Structure 1
């Protein structure tokens, strides 16, 4: 006898929904079968879709943002929101390390606050300009069970920037196949850091910031046969460039992630009275870029949220000043409802 059964739902398997039953023992799916078998508990799913729990592979929990603002959820409240949206696993990020010891210390610190989680979780490692070698950093990430390392090609003032030399060295190391390099790709030299008006986010960080940085990353990835993963792709033009110039490595050596906000909103929200709600980096794009992104959705391997919520009070009190504005928005609860259709 099984612990639980879900009867008569449209069950997602092998790329399609079919009417069948799901049988569960403990926390594991034990059997999917159209046959009706006995179980201790039963759920009638007739007329409902039955899908596996979602994995949100890009979240920031308890992150300190601009102006010293702490994001407004922790492992407990964040996992509750996730569960309500059908997300049963999320992947957070360790702090940005330049040495093996720092990476170890960040993992220990994160393990202390993660005990309150009510769903499954994992971590990506993160790095910045390296003091230890790329090989040693990658080896440590693999050894501690975080075989994906995030780099930022922007945010120089905050001290988490990775230079072109660091990025290329990490991509070169990834060719061994045991580690993946995750990259927040914006060309820092093309960003207008002087304009602090939050309404100008799309002008300060134009599409070229992403397109040109992704082009460099793709070139290094091809040259070294590396394993790269570009997060929160927000410009359809970026994907068009990759298809045209790097189609031989797209979804083979270089993978793309995007987020619901770039499919739902566009930059016109920065003209609204509550523009501060949408202060994120990279920013929302033009309607044309959004439509191109939608048209190219099949080139995107992963949809994740970049979940990083701050209170409306914290955002509003920044008064549109990017020097004080905590950047980010919540999203875990809405990943599946927004992207399913």
Structure 2
């Protein structure tokens, strides 16, 4: 076995799906070939003494080089976003191929594939965002793209790109036939519209009013409805960015009934509350996202839901906009919350924030951290060679220094956003070396990525395939 080993990592604690073990980790030709067994002969030897050897992070929810529903490009290209992701310990990302109004689906995916091929420095896949199902060749392109390995799609129940109930049911049925996971931004548009219009009429348009413009009931109603749609058609669904205790409870109840429903949350719901929006002038706009941050009670409910398996994973929902006229302030210095792009950067900070909470502070330990940030997203979205320290897997590896503490600064991220929403937040634990398919991307703060070196991840099947339930249409 020793001949042909490119490198071996010695003396680290290896975080595997079967637990934490001590031993060597050997890599050859970009693949993990040995876990835990002594390996003496290799071209390169890496010491991980006192460190944790983890799978590379899998972030299944990020907006990259994408135009928003408001017609604004976000701040990041695939080059800047994936550089930021890698420095934060993420080696695989699923971003969006977002259909423009009237655009043929095949053209949508081709456009994003070209952008990623040009700039991506980590491996990637796409969720196909559906906004217009009336375009030519829709059903044929839909089935062909899923069959070609694009196994997930996204729909909205709000914004000007929402699909209505009849359209959603149609997509759910087609996804079931083709073998795809439907991801949903679930908020009730009518509730949001009523709340927003009342606030604007009363002159309450500051960033802090954004939280009131998206009432928790908007999430609760839409999550419950989508769970019922999933249950009715036996179609696997991933509910994005759960922010409320009631939303998590709705998922739990649906799963207990046997509905094929999964859900995620994000660090800004686990570590921030809506008070973060209450800042002078428009400064709070930096933290505006949808759904908005909630309260401490919701945070605890979300943590409980992660621990009991109701929520399957933690994504970043990286949605980067600069705090200037190209981004958050595009409508001018007097903009109301309804004119400000929603979203904040998170690709680089997701893993250190979660490592600090789960490993350093004990809210789940190394195994729990790896499950929520690598194992589960890879498994549920069909990234078959990603997310695990195991023989035969891609050598996507992160060596974590559990003793390094970093306090985030004003503008110390490596994306193109220009500010860090976690300024002043200290994390204990840091990705010291990041390896993608056996090649070092980051080591001791130095970045070695090459634009275009990331590879598209084919997903021939999903782990979330439906099983016929009583009462579901055949």
TM-score (norm 1): 0.91
> How far off is 1:50 after superposition?
0.3
Give the corresponding residue for 1:299. 310
Structure 2 residue ranges without an equivalent (≥5): 359-474
**1:263-297 Cα deviation digits (max 9, x unpaired):** 01011112233311111111111222122111211
Is the 2:208–2:279 Cα contact (8 Å) retained in structure 1?
Answer: no
User: How far apart are 1:198 and its partner, in Å?
Assistant: 2.4
| Whole-Å separation in 2 of the counterparts to 1:68 and 1:87 | 28
C-alpha separation between the residues in 2 aligned to 1:148 and 1:5? 35
Residue 254 of structure 1 aligns with which residue? 261
What secondary structure sits across from 1:151 in the alignment? strand
Contact 1:62 1:71 survives alignment (8 Å): yes
SS of 1:58's partner is: strand
- What residue number does 2:163 align with? 162
SS at 1:29 equivalent:
strand
Q: Distance in 2 between matches of 1:76 and 1:44?
A: 30
> SS where residue 51 of structure 1 aligns?
strand
For residues 288-331 of structure 1, the C-alpha deviation after alignment (integer angstroms, 9 at most, x for no partner) is 21221112113111211111111122335554523431211111
1:127 corresponds to which residue? 130
Partner of residue 39, structure 2: 36
Q: Give me the whole-angstrom Cα distance separating, in 2, the residues matched to 1:170 and 1:315.
A: 33
Bigger RCO of structures 1 and 2 (CA < 8 A, at least 6 apart):
2
Query: Is this contact kept in 2: 1:96–1:127, CA < 8 A?
Result: yes
Deviates more, 1:181-190 or 1:141-150: 141-150
Gaps of 5+ in 1: none
Matches of 1:40 and 1:278, distance apart in 2: 47
Write out aligned runs for 1:120-269 (5 A).
Answer: 120-131=123-134, 136=140, 138-156=142-160, 160-176=161-177, 178-191=179-192, 192-194=195-197, 195=200, 196-244=205-253, 246-249=255-258, 253-269=260-276
Q: Is 1:335 matched with 2:337?
A: no
TM (norm. structure 2) is 0.67
CA contact (8 A) 2:173 2:233 kept: yes
Equivalent in the alignment of 2:328: 315
1:18-167 counterparts in 2 under 5 A?
A: 18-65=21-68, 68-96=71-99, 102-114=104-116, 115-131=118-134, 136=140, 138-156=142-160, 160-167=161-168
Q: Report the CA distance shift for 1:66/1:315 in structure 2 as closer, same or farther (over 3 A).
A: farther
Secondary structure at the aligned position of 1:169 is classed as: helix
Alpha-carbon contact 1:231-1:258 (below 8 Å) kept? yes
| TM-aligned CA deviation for residue 128 of structure 1 | 2.1
Paired with 1:285 and 1:184, the residues of 2 have a C-alpha distance of 17
User: 1:162 and 1:67 mapped to 2: Cα distance?
Assistant: 16
Instruction: Identify the structure with the greater helix proportion.
Output: 1
Alignment: residue pair count: 335
1:249: Cα distance to partner?
Answer: 2.6
